[in-house]
């Protein structure tokens, strides 16, 4: 108990010092005595909160509550004095100090991991003052409307959709289709936000890497549309799509590593070279483009609802084709099913095939089926890029796709 007590009090003190360092850095140009709180004050505030957490089981809630009220009054009084002197009406410092006190209290009475995570989160939020304020100054009604549309699609429409098949073939699930629609819109909007914050070059590359975690197909579609809007960005957009492809293939390997490690050993020589080819292609394409060559980029619609709806329609068609393949060919024709399913989604076939091993399917057969699905997925994205994107975007992505396919084939021949 003594060891745990020291650990909790140490965490409370560390939280205050962490926030105090960030606050002190923000006000590092202020003269001594001009700040309401610095590293020592924030450290003592969180430590005081931790002591209140220790006192509560012994004295009851009255004394800790009294100390907290007195602490809040003290902080507010000194903040009022600073406002009167500097005419600065920001309440951030006062709220941060009160939050630090509460986190110190939480470090003693609640879960330490959650409390530490909360401390890091608020420190990051405080440190992001300039980027966030700069983004708000540039925020337009179009961007705000896109965020509201996305929230409406998620919070209002999604819960009321039936989460079960509604067609006679038991293939179309409205909830899942709309979830994918939201996914497409979220990828587009997140990419737009990153581009606004980090600029076209860095934002596009970061969006490609992060979008591949969610849906590389959705990102490829979104970038294809943007390459039509701003052809000068086709090179960077294709680099982002390549990075998304690399992340998508890596994600399939990780899924197999968790569900069926035996499949991973057979699948890695097939997908790892392809992922490496995409990553190298995306990195080179992005690096060779000079930052000054990137024009200002502002899409007409950051949410791109119509693209999302078209993607949902394509996904519905793929689901129906998958069901028809099962009926016509049966489960024995796994490569055909993997190819058809992979046209729309790689994760679904990866999960379902990996779960069949080792009882119903050998690891080698499962790995080859997933590889076929991955090839189909790459082919589908290349075709979508050719249909929806600019010529430069489609050609670059097609070259990278061919290189990735050849790398995977080389890995297959070497096994």
Residue 332 has which token pair? 């024995």
Dist. CA 7–CA 19, nearest whole Å: 18
Cβ contacts of 262 within 8 Å, gap of 6 or more: 357, 358, 363
Does an H or E element contain 190, and which?
A: helix 174-198
CB 332 within 8 A of CB 176: no
Q: At 31, is the pLDDT very low, low, confident or very high (cuts 50, 70, 90)?
A: low
Please tell me which residue, 102 or 366, carries the higher pLDDT value. 102
Dist. CA 203–CA 62, nearest whole Å: 51
Residue 342 has which token pair? 């992979």
Domain boundaries, the chain: 2-127, 135-414
pLDDT confidence of residue 330: 61
Could you give the C-alpha distances from 305 to 145, 147, 190, 311, 367, in angstroms and in order?
12, 12, 14, 10, 36
Dist. CA 252–CA 264, nearest whole Å: 9
List, as own/partner pairs, every contact residues 61-65 make where C-beta atoms lie below 8 angstroms and the sequence separation is at least 24, other chains included: 64/105
pLDDT tens digits for range 84-126: 776 666 677 888 889 999 999 999 999 999 999 999 989 888 8
CB 223 within 8 A of CB 240: yes
Place of tokens 């630090």: 100
Q: At 223, is the pLDDT very low, low, confident or very high (cuts 50, 70, 90)?
A: confident
Dist. CA 335–CA 371, nearest whole Å: 9
| C-alpha of 380 from chain center | 23
Residue 43 has which token pair? 């450290």
Query: What number of helices (H) and strands (E) belong to the chain?
Result: 17, 0
Dist. CA 268–CA 291, nearest whole Å: 35
Lowest average pLDDT, out of 124-128, 191-195, 331-335, 360-364, goes to: 191-195
Dist. CA 203–CA 212, nearest whole Å: 14
Average confidence (pLDDT) over 226-254: 85
Please count the other Cβ atoms lying within 10 Å of the Cβ belonging to residue 33.
Answer: 5
CB 243 within 8 A of CB 209: yes
Residue from 403, 401, 384, 364 nearest 184 by CA: 384
Average confidence (pLDDT) over 185-198: 63
Average confidence (pLDDT) over 148-169: 78
pLDDT tens digits for range 295-319: 444 445 556 566 566 666 766 765 6
**DSSP symbol at 160:** G
């Amino acid at each position: 108990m003594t060891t745990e007590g020291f650990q909790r009090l140490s965490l409370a003190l560390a939280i205050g010092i962490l926030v105090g360092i960030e606050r002190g850095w923000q006000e590092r140009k202020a003269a001594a005595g001009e700040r309401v709180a610095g590293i020592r004050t924030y450290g003592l505030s969180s430590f005081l909160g931790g002591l209140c957490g220790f006192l509560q089981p012994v004295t009851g809630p009255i004394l800790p509550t009294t100390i907290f009220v007195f602490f809040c009054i003290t902080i507010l009084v000194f903040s009022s004095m600073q406002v009167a002197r500097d005419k600065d009406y920001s309440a951030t410092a006062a709220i941060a100090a009160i939050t630090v006190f509460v986190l110190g209290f939480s470090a003693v009475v609640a879960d330490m991991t959650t409390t530490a995570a909360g401390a890091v989160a608020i420190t990051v939020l405080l440190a992001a003052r300039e980027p966030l304020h700069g983004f708000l100054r540039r925020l337009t009604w179009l961007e705000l409307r896109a965020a509201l549309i996305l929230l409406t699609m998620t919070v209002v429409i999604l819960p009321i959709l039936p989460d079960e098949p509604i067609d006679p073939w038991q293939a179309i699930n409205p909830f899942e289709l709309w979830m994918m629609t939201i996914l497409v819109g979220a990828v587009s909007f997140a990419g737009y936000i990153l581009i606004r914050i980090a600029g076209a070059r860095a934002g596009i590359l970061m969006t490609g890497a992060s979008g591949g975690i969610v849906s590389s197909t959705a990102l490829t579609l979104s970038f294809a549309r943007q390459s039509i809007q701003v052809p000068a960005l086709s090179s960077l957009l294709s680099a982002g799509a390549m990075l998304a492809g690399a992340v998508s293939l890596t994600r399939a390997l990780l899924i197999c590593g968790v569900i069926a490690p035996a499949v991973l050993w057979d699948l890695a020589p097939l997908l790892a070279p392809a992922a490496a080819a995409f990553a190298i292609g995306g990195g080179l394409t992005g690096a060779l483009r000079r930052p000054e060559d990137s024009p200002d980029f502002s899409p007409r619609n950051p949410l791109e609802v119509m693209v999302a709806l078209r993607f949902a329609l394509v996904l519905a068609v793929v689901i129906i084709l998958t069901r028809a393949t099962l009926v016509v060919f049966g489960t024995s024709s796994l490569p055909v099913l993997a190819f058809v399913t992979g046209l729309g989604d790689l994760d679904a076939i990866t999960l379902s095939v990996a779960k069949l091993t080792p009882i119903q399917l050998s690891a080698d057969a499962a790995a080859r089926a997933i590889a076929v699905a991955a090839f189909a997925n790459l082919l589908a994205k290349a075709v979508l890029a050719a249909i929806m994107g600019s010529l430069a975007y489609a050609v670059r992505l097609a070259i990278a796709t061919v290189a990735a396919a050849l790398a995977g084939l080389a890995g297959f021949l070497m096994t």
